[in-house]
Structure 1
Amino acid sequence: MGLRTRRFVAMLGALGFLAVYIWAVIAVGDRLPENMWVDLLFYGVAGIAWGLPLIPLLNWAEGGKPK
């Protein structure tokens, strides 16, 4: 598979993942207690954690060579 095709497939995968991730974060966030600190902690962690699952996909998109 060529590099351009890999990048296109990775883009589609990332967009699909992010759509599901955002939906899940909103669904879980609605069930949290009404507390500012709980919201701050949850959305702070959720705002950072989305990148971790995408790292292997992005490495694959760039040719699959681990750095």
Structure 2
Amino acid sequence: MPVRLKKFIGTIVLIVLVVVYAVLATAYASLHLADANGWVHLLYFVTTGLLWVLPAMLLIRWMEAKPKR
């Protein structure tokens, strides 16, 4: 697969990943953490704010991989 095509596909997937992840994380927090105190909210949003990096890192690694010959 050409490098430019991999980067284009990876960029689209990364944008979709971030948007869907943010909506799901916020919806979960709204439904299940409504009555929790501020420290629980802080811990949840710090954790979920960093957790999306793992799949994004794998996707970026795939985008930057040299093509096999």
**How does the TM-score come out when normalised to structure 1?**
0.87
Q: Which stretch of the first structure deviates more once superposed, 18-27 or 29-38?
A: 29-38
Percent identity reads: 29
Larger radius of gyration: 2
Per the TM alignment, residue 9 of structure 1 is displaced from its structure 2 partner at its CA by: 0.4
**If each structure's helix is expressed as a fraction of its own residues, which one has the higher value?**
2
4+ residue segments displaced more than 2 Å: none
Q: Which has the higher contact order (CA 8 A, sep 6+)?
A: 2
Tell me, which stretches of 5 or more residues in structure 1 are unaligned? Answer: none
Cα RMSD (Å): 1.5
Tell me, which stretches of 5 or more residues in structure 2 are unaligned? Answer: none
